[in-house]
Structure 1
């Protein structure tokens, strides 16, 4: 018997099932076993990660601490697909015109933006030129990224657990 692993890109879950040797092609020799991956309670699966939206307003620094206390980090938006999926999800909860804290910041060096989980800052969706000084502010719809004061701007925020 072998374990067949299947992945659903729609909801980012993995599943496994046992199959007999006769159902495998003759050249298959790899055996993989896993249990389904699911998000913790209060998190939703989007784009292969787990996300939790917090409607209470906090500063970026407080939001970062809250996310870290839940064993995750402020959201790192690394593609337009992820940006859009998250915007649609929040739009369904809060409607248009809402902004929230994202994980991007340039606190270590002005103009050098970083994600809290260490991923490269290869994707950006800035309104105009890349800004210096501050923390990422993400509009749900419409609009592009702007910056806010990390220590004083109060906003809703989103945490992410990488899967």
Structure 2
């Protein structure tokens, strides 16, 4: 069976197995197993059953299947305490590697998957919700990503035309550790690209700045600092490769 046939069969089987959810896998040509964050699943009789194990694992972004030994391995990008990670074996000709697409309730953009959490929660709870899905609160790298996020998740008919309230979402940006020094929560890196609203962060009310340590995004893509206890929708992100 050719790789194209395997891919077609795999995709078709997942669509049937997962109640018509659009989850796709593509064959990866690179012949190198990941060096970390590998989870060994139970043996799988076929590449399709291995793929199902990856699909059912929110943390899995791609999987490796050994056609001889029937080994099934899932590759994670974000580490989770509930898994036991092992070193992947050396690559062999019997191994096949597949990339998992974004699940149906996630949206892909430039190799990343994004999820919009509609429930309104505090920043810490939003962070926890993302972690439960092996992801993290969104980290915005440039204006293109900011605009795309706003248009995809926040700019809709339910938003008021002039007011921002109700059309915002938590990001991972915060200055919880040091006032005025903003960092991305997941990567713990300083912010280089910024997209602040013209009166933010707290330019009109500097006395309030010390109580506004978490950053959300308006429907325009611009940023605003708020008290972390404020209840917002949120956007999760995870790498998809």
Question: Partner residue of 1:149?
Answer: 227
Cα distance change on mapping 1:130 and 1:85 into 2, 3 Å: same
Q: Could you report, residue by residue, the CA deviation over 1:10-41 in whole angstroms, capped at 9, with x for unpaired residues?
A: xxx995588xxxxxxxxxxxxxx853341234
SS at match of 2:98: coil
Offset, 1:70:
1.0
1:82 aligns with 2:160: no
Distance verdict in 2 for CA 1:94–1:149, change over 3 Å = farther
- The answer on 1:123 being equivalent to 2:193 is yes
| Cα 1:124/1:95, change in 2 over 3 Å | farther
Q: For the Cα contact (< 8 Å) 2:155–2:219, is it kept in 1? A: no
Cα 1:17–1:77 shift into 2, 3 Å: closer
1:136 matched to 2:215? The reply is: yes
Greater strand fraction, Structure 1 or Structure 2: 1
Question: Of residues 29, 40, 64 in structure 1, which corresponds to 2:103?
Answer: 40
Q: State the alpha-carbon separation in 1 of the partners of residues 133 and 158 from structure 2.
A: 26
Q: TM-score, normalised by structure 2?
A: 0.50
Using the size of structure 1 for normalisation, the TM-score is: 0.71
Q: Calculate the aligned-residue CA RMSD, in Å.
A: 2.7
Q: 1:101 aligns with which of 138, 158, 170?
A: 170
Unmatched 5+ stretches in structure 1: 4-12, 19-32
Residue-pair matches, total = 136
Q: Deviations over 1:73-104 (max 9, x none)?
A: 10011110110111110146665441111110
Rg: which structure is higher?
Answer: 2
The question of whether the paired residues in 2 share the 8 Å contact of 1:88 and 1:140 is answered with yes
Larger relative contact order, structure 1 or 2 (CA cutoff 8 Å, min sep 6): 1
Structure 2, unmatched stretches of 5+, are 4-23, 30-95, 203-208
